[in-house]
Amino acid sequence: MQQTSSPRKDLLGIEHLPREVIDHLLDRSDHYYELLLSEHPIPQNDLLAGRTVANLFFENSTRTRFSFELAEQRLGGQHISFTSQGTSVSKGESLLDTVKVLEAMKLDAIVVRHSSYGVPGFIAKHVADHVHVINAGDGAHEHPTQALLDAATMRMIMGTLEKKRVAIIGDIRHSRVARSNIWLLQKYGCDITLIGPDTLMARHAAEVFGVKVQREMGNIVHEVDMIIALRVQLERQASALFPTLEEFTSMYGLTAARLAGSKAHLLHPGPVNIGVELDFDAVYGEHSVILRQVKRGVAVRMAVLEWVFS
């Protein structure tokens, strides 16, 4: 949470979010997860009755966007969903004008994804005091609800996050998921190792984040409790950052064979480049908890909406 001049609650990132708030959000997401898994109809929840949330997605999304929409519906709220195509953004309308136009239609919260670092914070500074802002991913900065759903998944499997060993593998440099996960897991004393080629590593990662960094996989899959594999973000790479995808895959790609004998659970935020960072058998194999992460998405976003409005 980054504070604005008003006491309003926003979720702009994990870095400055107190651990007790994260504990609360994970506990509430467990509660909503149990309800969503139940065979009984989900009890009517009117927490967002009479409220409208705008989901502003300036970048593509499947998991985050639809799970926010479902979370808003399940809490009894209304939502409007916005993408740059088909709106006046494609005619050159600025971000601030777009936000002001939507605000004039009486909104209570904005969920925003954007390719630029800091856009949710910028919106939070310019919207009316009663409009909550939630970051759904900004550039290579943060993706707080993804880190929360990853943490909820890991906590459910292992019982605790305290002092676990975690490897984050692949395109760290472009990854907001990596950053939010590092900030979150460090609040629980986790031992984090980043693995990837120099060209895909965040600059000065060891010093900035206080983590271990290694260029080669070595024996890491047998040394950790959790592996977070990252999508190679081909769309963000201004120039080729590794010679060929085949070379990246041979060095850092996880296959069922490579994971054999490991006790680690495998996470990936999705979407997966199958055959690049993971092969099909790794995605759907015994180590994978990737679909459990997706299942967690709605529950975590219900918990976040409940918290900002509480």
**Chain residues in the site for ligand CP (CB under 6 A):** 61-65, 137, 146, 269-271
What are the C-alpha distances in Å from 202 to residues 120, 250, 268? 22, 21, 18
Q: How far apart are the C-alpha atoms of 14 and 187, rounded to whole Å?
A: 10
Q: How far is the CB of 169 from ligand CP (least distance, A)?
A: 16
CB 155 within 8 A of CB 130: no
Residue with Cβ nearer ligand CP (68 or 262): 68
Residue with Cβ nearer ligand CP (64 or 98): 64
Residue with Cβ nearer ligand CP (102 or 177): 177
Residue with Cβ nearer ligand CP (213 or 278): 278
What are the C-alpha distances in Å from 19 to residues 7, 79, 169, 188? 19, 29, 25, 8
In whole angstroms, what separates CA 170 from the centre of its chain?
A: 16
Q: How far apart are the C-alpha atoms of 154 and 271, rounded to whole Å?
A: 19
Q: How far is the CB of 144 from ligand CP (least distance, A)?
A: 11
Q: How far is the CB of 291 from ligand CP (least distance, A)?
A: 13
Residue with Cβ nearer ligand CP (213 or 299): 299
Handedness of CA 153, 157, 159, 163 (dihedral sign): negative
Q: How far apart are the C-alpha atoms of 55 and 109, rounded to whole Å?
A: 9
CB 206 within 8 A of CB 213: yes
